[in-house]
Amino acid sequence: MVVQSQPAALDPLSNLIKSCKPTSLFTEIPEVDLTDPAAKTQIVKACEEYGFFKVVNHGVSLELMNKLEAEAVKFFSQSQSEKDKASPPDPFGYGSKRIGPNGDVGWIEYLLLNANPQLTSHKTLAIFQERSQKFRRAVDEYIVAVKKMSYQVMELMADGLNITPRNVMSKLLKDERSDSCFRLNHYPPCPDHQLQALSGRNLIGFGEHTDPQIISVLRSNNTSGLQIQLRDGTWVSVPSDQSSFFLNVGDALQVMTNGRFKSVKHRVLADTNKSRISMIYFGGPPLSEKIAPLPTLLAEEEESLYKEFTWCEYKMSAYKSRLADHRLGLFEKTTAKRSGQISPN
């Protein structure tokens, strides 16, 4: 399902949006079947090698996914004046092309919502008051289902790492003060005349970055565009799969594992002809939660690579940065050692 609308019109920001050449599809994305007894081992291996994996047999119904996608299509198909009633993002709300407060732009429009019913966002409430109850129910039901699956993944991850209790990480997402959010993205098709000028290059819908939170859970329609960066710096395209979820390690989880898991750098390219709709749950800890390597994961005499910080401190630091910045750099201990190697500056 795609947004049935005309390609987005150009505006002054369009000239600032970068482009790059499409890459070949990467067929080696780790796939984890949550019903497989080996899932815990597969999750740990995928997080160590790629910081990214696909989940199947996840228990979230396709009907639920399609219902929310249909509501997202309705929202983004509205006139610009209607969508602008939910703007500007603060950070919750509707945004178009501008990503964050520091000059990043992309070929995108989005709706960012609070994913924790215990924490009130006036902008989120206002958005739902303007829309149908059907939209709100679709969002709420989807978030509940994806959270449940995320808790299962985090507990399998703990099992694979031999961490006890097994809820040591999932409880941060379950906490009623959890600072989690949910975003609906729409990447419109690119205007034909600009595509010709780009000579086969695609506009960047969302620039390269890592996610600051613990874990991100992505589902998209059947339009490709997501790319991840491998350890050798190569960019590869992720084959679309609208019935599965893609999960990636966030900066906070990289710190909690003392660098054993890597926060994957990723970006999204706009398609030349089709719209892309994606839905992402960002699982974050409470704002006051202290983030540091888990003691049970530190080998004897192994030092932490990172300074301890609260999630609030890291979130505020990330908010002041550009998308492509190495956000964890400010929190690394340059003298710390792990496996005989000095951590990078």
Which residues participate in catalysis according to the annotation? 276
Characterize the bridge pairing of strands 31-33 and 52-56: parallel
Residue 226 neighbours by CB under 8 Å, 6+ apart: 218, 220, 237, 238, 240, 246, 266, 267, 268, 278
DSSP E strands in the chain: the ranges are 19-20, 31-33, 52-56, 93-99, 104-114, 181-187, 202-209, 215-220, 226-229, 235-237, 245-249, 266-269, 276-283, 290-291, 309-310, 337-338, 341-342
What residue type is assigned to position 339 of the chain? S
Q: How far is CA 318 from CA 43, 211, 325, in A?
A: 27, 9, 9
Question: Chain-centre distance of CA 316, in angstroms?
Answer: 17
Task: Name the 3-class secondary structure at 182.
Answer: strand
Say how far apart CA 314 and CA 318 lie, in whole Å. 6
Question: Chain-centre distance of CA 107, in angstroms?
Answer: 17
